[in-house]
Amino acid sequence: RPILDMSYSRHFLDFQGSSIPSSMKKLVVTKLSQNFREAVALRQDSPVPLPGDGDLLVRNRFVGINASDINYSAGRYDASVKPPFDIGFEGVGDVVALGLSASADYTVGQAVAYVKAGSFAEYTVVPAKQAIPLPSVKPEFLTLMVSGATAYISLKELGELSEGKKVLVTAAAGGTGQFAVQLAKKAKCHVIGTCSSDEKGGFLKSIGCDRTINYKTENVESLLRKDYPEGVDVVYESVGGKMFDLALNSLATKGCLIVIGFIAGYQNPAGLQPIKAELLPAKLLKKSASIRGFFLNHYLSEYKMALKHLLEMYEKGDLVCEVDFGDMSPEGKFTGLESVFRAVDYMYMGKNIGKIVVELPHSVNSKL
């Protein structure tokens, strides 16, 4: 098998025999700001990184957009990290070079996915231990890496789903929402999804959502009170602000609200939108209810198992992995790193159905 040992060599070729360039494009956070366009710059001539002994060099073909990209570029996750730093959390691509130790498990030309900071680049070095081998390079696999795993692990560990439970998913047609809906349905729950358009409502019905609520045209709170007077057992919440308050008020006795994000506050200069939390202790006590936060990084011990199960479900046709390439956006499909900025805007305008993915086309010298 063709192994390119990168441990000792500074010049290397990719598996099609076309030279890997010495420089590449990548996105870099140059200043901390919740305005993604202000925070991030496109560098045209960054050196292509060299993989070490246990590393893979991955040529990125598809990269995923996450709501937390803005939190990261605003410096909200780790105050000790100072600009400039790389951005982008997940990618799918081909191994084009690798270190000697890494060659024990991987070969040049293999399709892999990964979750690691620095995916908004044409090439990313990924430790072989962190890579996920894939049967092929498909954007659908990218939907599972962060979004699918977040929904799977949070509902499994915190949701205590069982047949007949009523589950409310906010932003249900989004990247993680689509999986929360499907996984709750697989647990034989009754699933209610909020969304912002009739088109999204149609998508949600197609993946099994029992009840859809268009919050732009319908009053979510009064509808829930009328149709679910006993409340809902589990809320999968990623919006924050008013939606959080509404979800909290809709909980049933012994209900659980799982917070996986609060996108309404991410672009705010102040960050979080205030919630009406003064009554929180009384509200929780009155219903014996709970609120649980979920951050994927704290559940990495569950990650490989979750991903394996999700990949099997997708391969068997048991899971819809909806990808949104922005074909319906004003300037068309998200292609190339420069379109990451548009893709982030598109997400914050709430336009996407499914996971937003940007395709990185190959440069002219590639024979792929």
The range of the structural domain enclosing residue 195 comes to 145-298
Mark whether 155 and 34 lie in a shared domain.
Answer: no
Mark whether 168 and 262 lie in a shared domain.
Answer: yes
Q: Which residues pair with 358 in a beta bridge?
A: 63
Q: Are strands 111-115 and 132-133 parallel, antiparallel or unpaired?
A: antiparallel
Residues ≥6 apart with Cβ < 8 Å to 297:
none
pLDDT at 223: 97
Helix (H) or strand (E) holding 194: strand 190-195
CB 195 within 8 A of CB 171: yes
Nearest to 264 by CA among 180, 348, 353: 348
- Indicate whether 364 belongs to any domain: no
Looking at per-residue confidence, does 17 or 172 come out higher?
172
Q: Report the C-alpha gap between 35 and 3 in whole angstroms.
A: 43
Q: Which two tokens stand for residue 29?
A: 């956070």
Q: Write out pLDDT tens, residues 33-56.
A: 999 999 999 999 999 999 999 999
**What is the total count of domains within the chain?**
2
Mark whether 284 and 335 lie in a shared domain.
Answer: no
Q: Write out pLDDT tens, residues 143-152.
A: 999 999 999 9
pLDDT of residue 214 exceeding 50, the answer is: yes
Q: Write out pLDDT tens, residues 232-279.
A: 999 999 999 899 999 999 999 999 999 999 888 887 776 666 677 778
Give the CATH number, domain containing residue 340. 3.90.180.10
What mean pLDDT, rounded, does the chain reach? 92
Looking at per-residue confidence, does 15 or 362 come out higher?
362
Q: Report the C-alpha gap between 204 and 209 in whole angstroms.
A: 5
Mark whether 125 and 149 lie in a shared domain.
Answer: no
Mark whether 168 and 149 lie in a shared domain.
Answer: yes
Mark whether 72 and 197 lie in a shared domain.
Answer: no
Mark whether 343 and 267 lie in a shared domain.
Answer: no
Give the CATH number, domain containing residue 233. 3.40.50.720
Q: What proportion of the chain, given as a percentage, has pLDDT over 70?
A: 92
pTM of the model: 0.91
- Indicate whether 167 belongs to any domain: yes
pLDDT at 96: 94
Q: Write out pLDDT tens, residues 112-125.
A: 999 999 999 999 99
